[in-house]
Amino acid sequence: MRFSIIQLAAVVTLPLLAMAAADPARASTDPQLRQLLKEAIESDSGFEDRFDAQVWLLDMSRRLEKFIEEPKMRIELLKLIHYEARRVGIEPELVLAVIEVESRFDEFAISVAGARGLMQIMPFWLNEIGISDQNLFKIRTNLR
């Protein structure tokens, strides 16, 4: 039995809509999150298709709520993580796991050893790869 994309989308989104209806706090943020998701999907962030982008961004955004309150910041970070991870051929979920363990999504984290930013990169690496003028507290630099 083959399913169409619309049937598959309905299977995925119906439980999410039911959760939003059951939880007024989530329902109140959904219009803003929906708009942010729409904008993210339309931009180039390394996704193969719109459906994959919507499902992944919605799922990961919900998971990051406890670390990053602002929906726009979550979506922007997720897009950047997805793009940078795919650019070098690694899974975005691996990058998310490293960030959670290393900095708990604090872009200004500094370890006792001096590692900086989301991924806790040691400053000497900037010299090693020839970008000593870059700032590890800039998210894109830290992810690359």
The answer to whether residues 129 and 136 touch, using CB atoms and an 8 Å cutoff, is: no
> CA-to-CA distance for 18 and 30, rounded, in angstroms?
12
* Tens digits of residue pLDDT in 34-45: 666 666 556 555
Scored b (16 or more CB within 10 A) or e, 86-105 reads eeeeeebeebbeebeebbeb
Tokens 């989530």 identify what position? 26
pLDDT higher than threshold 60 for residue 20: no
Q: Quickly list H helices, the chain.
A: 5-22, 24-42, 50-64, 71-87, 92-103, 124-128, 139-143
Distances (CA, A) of 132 to 30, 31, 80, 125: 41, 42, 22, 8
* Tens digits of residue pLDDT in 45-103: 567 788 888 899 999 999 999 999 999 999 999 999 999 999 999 999 999 999 999 99
Average per-residue pLDDT in the chain?
Answer: 81
Q: What percent of the chain has pLDDT over 90?
A: 55
> CA-to-CA distance for 115 and 105, rounded, in angstroms?
14
Scored b (16 or more CB within 10 A) or e, 1-25 reads eeeeeeeeeeeeeeeeeeebeeeee
> CA-to-CA distance for 27 and 17, rounded, in angstroms?
9
Domain ranges of the chain: 5-90, 106-144
Q: What percent of the chain has pLDDT over 70?
A: 69
In this prediction the pTM is 0.68
pLDDT score for 6: 46
pLDDT score for 48: 75
pLDDT score for 67: 97
Position 8 confidence tier, pLDDT thresholds 50, 70, 90: very low
Question: Radius of gyration (Cα) for the chain, nearest Å?
Answer: 17
pLDDT score for 109: 97
pLDDT score for 103: 97
